[in-house]
Amino acid sequence: MDIKQIYMDADALLHGHFKLSSGNHSEYYLQSAKVLEDPKTAAILAKELAKQIRESGLDVDTICSPAIGGLIAGFALASALECRYIFTERVDGKMTLRRGFTVEPGEKILICEDIITTGGSAMEAAAEVERLGARVVGFAALANRGFCKREGSDLGRKPNCKLPKNLPLFALADFDFEMYSPDECPLCKSGSEAIKPGSRGN
């Protein structure tokens, strides 16, 4: 399965000259939600991710996603794995389990995002379900931005990855494109101007 092509076809992997939320510039931009706007594509990607998780032998009771980014990917993955699905959301900035969701002591939870960058939100969701007594057994995402090490990839872990080293990260592909500080950006040097995706109100 050519994950990058699926993202390209869905206009979820943009090529150009972009200003990222970190302030850095990049030739590529991932608009993760776009790849999931077709439920059939979402199901295909989730099925592939579920296959990796099953083949690893990891025992999972429940998928939990941090809202909003992880909601659709997590639900699709739970459908493919035929397991329970819950999500956490921010209340006054704090990641919280609400809406009547509970977890059992020792319940084995896989945290699922659409894309793992450094894993910050995933770790906040993990801390919340563990505070309530569950056990986080791993992490999953459709795409890995290249900071964390995913199962089966040769690409190493970068110092800013927040995920624990002793738990697996399952993802379909590494999207480890280069980022440049604005004063070192070769695209800026060639005279083009960086645009901020989403600047049209989306």
Residue 20 lies near Zn ion (rule: CB under 5 A):
no
Q: Which of 83, 194, 195, 197 binds Zn ion (CB under 5 A)?
A: 194
Q: Which of 25, 145, 149, 150 binds Zn ion (CB under 5 A)?
A: 25
Closest distance to Zn ion from the beta carbon of 196 (Å): 11
Q: What character string, x for contact with Zn ion (CB under 5 A) and - otherwise, covers 158-177?
A: --------------------
Q: Which is nearer to Zn ion, 16 or 39 (CB)?
A: 16
Q: Which of 10, 44, 67, 187 binds Zn ion (CB under 5 A)?
A: 187
According to DSSP, the β-strands at 25-30 and 84-91 are unpaired
Cα–Cα distance for residue pair 80/126, rounded to 1 Å: 21
Question: Which of 18-26, 33-41, 75-83, 118-126 is the region at the interface with Zn ion (rule: CB under 5 A)?
Answer: 18-26
- Using CB under 5 A, count the residues that bind Zn ion: 5
Closest distance to Zn ion from the beta carbon of 198 (Å): 17
Closest distance to Zn ion from the beta carbon of 161 (Å): 25
Per the omega criterion (within 30 degrees of 0), is the bond before 115 cis?
A: no
Q: Which of 8, 132, 188, 195 binds Zn ion (CB under 5 A)?
A: 188
Q: How far is CA 55 from the centre of its chain?
A: 20
Which residues, at least 6 apart from 151, have a Cβ–Cβ distance to it below 8 Å?
52, 56, 168, 169, 170, 171
Instruction: Tell me the two tokens of residue 179.
Output: 């980022």
- Report the interface residues with Zn ion, using CB under 5 A: 25, 185, 187-188, 194
